[in-house]
Amino acid sequence: MTDPTPYAPRPVVIDTDPGIDDLLALELALKSPELDVRGISVSYGNTVVENAYRNAVEILRRVGRRITIGVGARRPLRRELVVARETHGETGLGYATVPPAGVILDFVKPLERLLADQPAPVTLVTLGPLTSLALALRREPAVVHEKVARHVAMAGNLEARGNTTPYAEFNAWCDPEALDAVLRAELPTELVGLDVTRQLVLSGHDVNRIGRVAEPHAQWVYEALRFYVAFHRRAENLDGCVVNDVLPIAALVLPDVLDFTEVRLAVDLDDGDTRGRTRIDPEGAPARVATRVRPAPVRRLLFDRVLPWTQTPATTAVS
Ligand code: BDR
Ligand code: CA
């Protein structure tokens, strides 16, 4: 029998704070034969870490996969813990029903142990605050440098307006010191931030069509998405929702959808308005930043693999 995937899937470890767009991103990764998801590490961010863990377990259960889940950061390095209840709901997954969260036992693996267990270097994708990775770098820098061949982060913004303050993107804002430490570690890191993710939008119409599908998983995803749409309507008068975290995963499957620019980047570490702002600075750390996106193939991939119940033409306006 011929192998349907005539190449080795890319080994990937994902650090995430699920989160409604994280949910879609995780499902896309798990349903993409090009990727071998070797481990998931959860952290605080959109919700507290206990909910994030429960959500990751529930997502895996619903897609029928068993994958090692580690537990990364419970709070930022130095800042107060702030979560995004208004954006992702009390549980982190909007109105989708989930089991109660439990306590997390201390012997669950942190990110650096997940990485140490990998037989070969992986692509690390971070979809939440950078704290888990900063802690891993602090505790086991050699392991992280040996096992992370490439780091792709949904974080930051250059030209685009922030989504947490006018200047800052949420993952960068939550723990700017962690992002700063990660950039300085020169893994190397690629930022897929709001400049490109803001163009990846599911419209209210897209989401309503999912809501009309009787299939139980469609209904579960719809219950998460309709909360996210209501938030975007309130917060920015958008009829739809920006599914940021899908893009870094999609770009591993379809590398041509993003254009990157090599820059030197600094993160603002002040306490004021510009906390967490990422900006070009000749004294900053080298990084690649995604500056252009072709959203249509990403939408097609997302609908084919994660939201297959409705067929949306790839040419539908996306923002
Ligand atoms: C990021 O913050 C969270 O709301 C999303 O899950 C995404 O990772 C976007 O700024
Ligand atoms: Ca996220």
How many domains is the chain partitioned into structurally?
Answer: 1
15 lines ligand 1 (CB under 6 A): no
Which of 23, 46, 133 to mutate to test ligand 1, by most ligand atoms within 8 A of the CB atom? 46
Q: What pLDDT was estimated at residue 316?
A: 40
Say if residue 299's pLDDT is above 80. Answer: yes
Question: Where are the alpha helices (H) located in 37-155, listed in sequence order?
Answer: 49-63, 85-88, 111-116, 131-139, 141-147
Indicate which CATH number applies to the domain containing 269. 3.90.245.10
**CA atoms of 14 and 93, how far apart (whole Å):** 18
Q: Is 5 inside a domain boundary?
A: no
Ligand 1 centroid to residue 245 C-alpha, Å: 7
Say if residue 1's pLDDT is above 60. Answer: no
Say if residue 107's pLDDT is above 90. Answer: no
Domain range for 39: 10-316
* Residue 105 binned pLDDT confidence (cut-offs 50, 70, 90): confident
Ligand 1 centroid to residue 119 C-alpha, Å: 30
**CA atoms of 198 and 64, how far apart (whole Å):** 30
Q: Which residues contact 94 (CB under 8 A, 6 or more apart)?
A: 20, 88, 223, 224, 225, 226, 227, 228
* Residue 315 binned pLDDT confidence (cut-offs 50, 70, 90): very low
Residue 316 amino acid letter: T
Q: Whose CA is nearest to atom 2 of ligand 1?
A: 170
Q: How many CB atoms lie within 10 A of CB 120?
A: 9
Q: Is 4 inside a domain boundary?
A: no
Q: What is the pLDDT averaged over residues 21-42?
A: 98
List b or e across 126-139, with b for residues whose CB sees 16 or more CB atoms inside 10 angstroms: bbbbbbbbbbbbee
Per-residue model confidence as pLDDT tens digits over 152-206: 999 999 999 999 999 999 999 999 999 999 999 999 999 999 999 999 999 999 9
Ligand 1 centroid to residue 49 C-alpha, Å: 15
- Describe the chain by its helix, strand, coil percentages, rounded to 5: 40, 20, 45
Mean pLDDT of the chain: 95
Three-state secondary structure call for residue 227: helix
Q: Is 3 inside a domain boundary?
A: no
**CA atoms of 182 and 177, how far apart (whole Å):** 9
Please give the model's pTM, rounded to 2 decimal places. Answer: 0.95
Per-residue model confidence as pLDDT tens digits over 113-154: 999 999 999 999 999 999 999 999 999 999 999 999 999 999
Tokens linked to 173: 């804002």
Q: Is 213 inside a domain boundary?
A: yes
Q: What pLDDT was estimated at residue 4?
A: 54
